[in-house]
Chains A and B, each alone.
Chain A
């Protein structure tokens, strides 16, 4: 039986050794957290950076914009991430938290992402206005007299006779997603503002307005389909009467199966999103922890790689991945700001 006992002792010892090995460990690679929308771009740059420089490839985690900010703002030191990606601008509350924890940051805007309302190729063409989107998806809408009533619409043609006669069935991301935040802010709020009563409410009580404009109906017309946009695409193919909400890069990759709805007269195309004609698009950002520059090797070089024309330019490799670049003038200004590590103040 001595053999058994020896085996046990060896296992326990090995356990103790690997436990203690973890404690002392200096970090030499950049750590990036944040938005799943920026993840494809951030990882592409990270890979290029790892291949073309002597630095190790940065580790990129997909935690969502909010989760990334939380980790990023937690403090200064090598156990905290160096860069966070966000599919929206940093919130004032998050900035204050960062400042409180002594984190100084530089903001870099990297480009745009369109949010698409897509339908299967075999489905009808959709031409929507933001007002119609609001009427289709809001939990409460104003009636003729301006009083809020529960959303009575069950088919698109009830909203406007020009729309197809089909059930309102929209597959979209859950509330934890940055895509949902942006969609609500851009499309739903934009639609809500078209109503006189809601416009007046916005002036008098911004909170109450947001409560109305941001509330998506919960009676089954809007279906939370999870954060996986590929899944939404598959479901749209299976059900040509359903409409899906997802990022532009997924339309770009699946243009043979899915078509995008016109919103306010503009098709969701690369050109329209870049020029701002397509209204449902948002800016993408990343934030750099300035104190880590110099401590963690390679941060400056990584920022330089990300903001180089071969990456985020009109013909850069990020465009192949679906990023919609900033106009050339903005890019130049942003690169100066980013490589100079200009502090962000709010």
Chain B
């Protein structure tokens, strides 16, 4: 016995002294603290990021409006009293706004000043009057108080983005405009209202008329194409590779390639789309169809990899039991393995879709980085997507687009949160653990 103990050395006893015990507890506390610090740092950075975006952008959800006493003068709108929609559409509503502004400030007589005065109102205001008349031609001949949007500069001023204490020459809103604004404000003719245009309009060069609806629809159509192409293809590829394909050099090569594709910079897929879909197949430029096809190529590897992982996670006993009672290979897979792997596959798909939603680089090459006013109505209409809209607004000189940019980022983030939350819920709901 003594020989043996010499070979393995003196017997090691656990050191249960108080000092060592407290050292071990301290080490654990330290480790937890490091972990907590790491999480807190991440959370703080995220908070600062989101805080900046919200602080910059929340004002874009509101729009300053000016009340005008509009006199729907029959002479100007419909001199022959035809009530013909074509005549009503073509009438010069800008004149009505100019008159209303001048009626409020009769002391302004200089031509240049008058021009500045009517520029306080958005150039889109005449469209609102046009709409009112088109809907209800009986308004002609009446006089009515109408709230119209202010111009983007006045809006920025009202929101405090253009400050009063800056010298007149350096300010886009001049002293006399501020005086007019204050007069209007004292007459209760200025209000701030929730900006519905932002959620219902397409892009515009005038910040107060610009909206994200066109980009939202564009993103939706694009993602629909992506989903339709990449989900069936990706799932079939995953099932075949995992369940049926022989394990040989070729399947290894395919696996390496799929993993590789997942890491290829996304702009490369855009170049591919330009060369193949546009130049070779002659598909239309700027179309959600092509955008969706390009993004489908990009998300395929994600879906295949997630799908294979989900299939692998199904215990072999399920497969073997099915085969053991006489099911064919296909039956075993389709009736037992595949349904169990479905939640994991869906999670992978949603995460892939969320990635595709945030992508803008590959769309540059196929012409989706474009100014598109009309909301797209189909898969081949020119369209743009949310991240591209953000990029285009961020590059615009007009000051008011800074807020719009942040507001659009908030909308994009909201969509991403919903999609990722959906992935988590699906996993929690249907995932089975063995």
Within 8 Å CB of B335, what residues of A?
A: 1
Whether A22 touches B127, Cβ cut-off 8 Å, given contacts A12-B232, A50-B374, is: no
Please, which residues of chain B bring their CB within 8 A of the CB of A254? 399
The B contact surface, by secondary structure, is loop
Number of A-B contacts (CB under 8 A): 121
Minimum CB–CB distance for A95 against chain B, Å:
23
Residue pair A43, B282 in contact (C-beta under 8 Å): no
- Interchain nearest-CB distance for B102 vs A (Å): 18
**Across the interface, do B115 and A61 meet the contact criterion of CB distance under 8 Å?**
no
Instruction: Tell me which of A23-31, A122-130, A185-193 binds B.
Output: A23-31
Known: A22-B289, A23-B282. A62 touches B397 (CB 8 A): no
Query: Is residue B285 contacting chain A, with contact meaning CB distance below 8 A?
Result: yes
Residues of B within 8 A of A (CB): 115, 119, 123, 127, 162-163, 166, 169-172, 204-206, 225, 228-229, 231-232, 236, 278, 281-287, 289-290, 334-335, 338-339, 367, 369-374, 379-380, 382, 392, 394-399, 402
Q: Which single residue of chain B is at the shortest CB-CB distance from A29?
A: B382
Interface residues in A306-331 (C-beta closer than 8 Å to B): 315, 317, 320-322
A-to-B contact residues, CB < 8 Å: 1, 4, 8, 11-12, 14-15, 18-19, 21-23, 25, 27, 29, 31, 33, 36, 39-40, 42-44, 46-47, 50-51, 56-57, 59-63, 79, 121, 227-230, 247, 249-250, 252-256, 315, 317, 320-322
Give complex CA distance A18, B172 in Å. 48
Contact of A255 with B282 at beta-carbon distance under 8 Å, contacts A44-B205, A50-B374, A230-B395 already known: no
- Are A61 and B283 in contact, with the CB atoms below 8 A? no
Q: Distance (Å) between the CB of B333 and the closest chain A CB?
A: 10
Complex CA distance for A229 and B162, rounded to whole angstroms: 19
Residues of A within 8 A of B232 (CB): 8, 11-12, 15
Do A255 and B171 touch (CB < 8 A)?
Answer: yes
CB contact under 8 A between A79 and B282, given known A12-B232, A228-B394, A317-B123: yes
Asked if B282 contacts A21 (CB within 8 A), the reply is no
- Residue contact A79 to B397, C-beta cutoff 8 Å: no
Additional A-B contact list (20), CB under 8 Å, known A15-B232, A47-B205, A57-B373? A4-B339, A8-B236, A14-B228, A18-B225, A18-B289, A22-B287, A25-B284, A29-B382, A40-B397, A46-B371, A47-B204, A59-B370, A60-B371, A61-B370, A62-B392, A62-B395, A63-B369, A227-B395, A229-B395, A322-B397
Q: Which residue of A lies closest to B393 (CB)?
A: A230
Closest Cβ–Cβ distance, residue B391 to chain A (whole Å): 9
Q: How far is A29 from B371 in the complex, measured between Cα atoms in Å?
A: 13
Contact B374 A56 (CB under 8 A): yes
Which chain B residues lie closer than 8 Å to A25 at the CB level? 284, 380
Chain A positions within 8 Å of B397 at CB level: 40, 229-230, 247, 249-250, 252-253, 321-322
Closest 3 CB pairs between A and B?
A60-B371, A43-B371, A57-B373
Contacts of B370 in A (CB 8 A): 59-62
Residue from B172, B205, B380 in contact with A255 in the complex, judged by beta carbons closer than 8 Å: B172
Q: List 11 A-B contacts (CB under 8 A).
A: A4-B334, A14-B228, A15-B228, A22-B287, A44-B205, A50-B374, A62-B392, A230-B395, A256-B163, A256-B166, A256-B170
Q: Across the interface, do B399 and A46 meet the contact criterion of CB distance under 8 Å?
A: no
Residues from chain A with a CB closer than 8 A to the CB of B392 are 62
B169 touches A255 (CB 8 A): yes
A230 & B379 in contact (Cβ 8 Å cutoff): no
What is the minimal beta-carbon distance from A332 to any residue of chain B, in angstroms? Answer: 22
* B228 with A228: CB separation less than 8 A: no
Q: A47-B204, A255-B169 are in contact. Are A36 and B395 (CB under 8 A)?
A: yes
- The residues of B that contact A61 with a CB separation of less than 8 Å are 286, 367, 369-371
Across the interface, which residues of A come within 8 angstroms of B172, CB to CB? 253, 255-256
Cα(A29)–Cα(B339), bound, Å: 47
Query: A31 contacts which chain B residues (CB < 8 A)?
Result: 285
When C-beta atoms are compared, the residue in chain A nearest to B209 turns out to be: A47
Q: In the assembly, what is the distance between CA of A253 and CA of B399, in Å?
A: 7
CA distance in complex: A44, B210 (Å): 12
**Residues of the A chain whose Cβ atoms lie less than 8 Å from the Cβ of B287:** 22
> Looking across the interface, which residue of chain B has its beta carbon closest to that of A45?
B205
A44 nearest in chain B by CB position: B205
Closest to A60 in B: B371
Bound-state CA distance A186–B397 (Å) is 23
CB of A111 to closest CB in B, whole Å: 15
Distance in angstroms between the alpha carbons of A99 and B399 in the assembled complex: 41
Q: A1-B334, A14-B228, A15-B228 are in contact. Are A57 and B395 (CB under 8 A)?
A: no
Q: Please, which residues of chain A bring their CB within 8 A of the CB of B231?
A: 11
Residue of A nearest to B289 (CB): A22
Chain A hits for B371, CB < 8 A = 39, 42-43, 46, 59-62
The answer to whether A50 touches B228, judged by C-beta atoms less than 8 angstroms apart, is no
Smallest CB gap from A259: residue in B: B170
Q: Which residues of B contact A39 (CB under 8 A)?
A: 371
Whether the pair A40, B394 counts as a contact (CB closer than 8 A) is: no
Chain A min CB distance to B285 (Å): 7
Whole-angstrom CA separation of A317 from B127 in the bound complex: 17
Known: A15-B229, A18-B225. A40 touches B396 (CB 8 A): yes
Q: Could you say which residues of chain B place their CB within 8 Å of the CB of A256? A: 162-163, 166, 170-172
Contact status of A321 and B205, CB under 8 A, knowing A47-B373, A62-B370 = yes
Q: Closest residue to A315 on the B side, CB-wise?
A: B115
A273 to chain B, nearest CB (A): 15
Choose among A18, A50, A79 the residue that contacts B379 (Cβ–Cβ < 8 A): A18
- The complex places the Cα of A262 from the Cα of B335 at a distance, in Å, of 78
**A43 proximity list for chain B (CB < 8 A):** 205, 371
Find out whether the CB atom of B283 lies under 8 angstroms from the CB atom of A22. yes
Q: Which residues of B contact A23 (CB under 8 A)?
A: 281-283
Asked if A59 and B382 sit within 8 Å, CB to CB, the answer is yes
Given contacts A1-B334, A22-B287, A315-B115, contact A40 B205 (CB under 8 A): yes
- In the assembled complex, the Cα of A322 lies from the Cα of B399 at a distance in Å of 13
Chain B residue numbers with a CB within 8 Å of A322 are: 397
Q: Which residue of A lies closest to B283 (CB)?
A: A22
Report how far A27 CA is from B287 CA in the complex, Å: 12
List, in ascending order, chain B residues with CB within 8 A of A27's CB. 284
Name the contact of B369 in the complex, choosing from A42, A47, A56, A62 (C-beta under 8 A). A62
B369 touches A21 (CB 8 A): no
Closest chain B residue to A9, Cβ basis:
B232
User: What are the residues of chain A within 8 A of B205 when measuring CB–CB?
Assistant: 40, 43-44, 47, 321
Chain A residues contacting B286 (CB-CB under 8 Å) are 59, 61
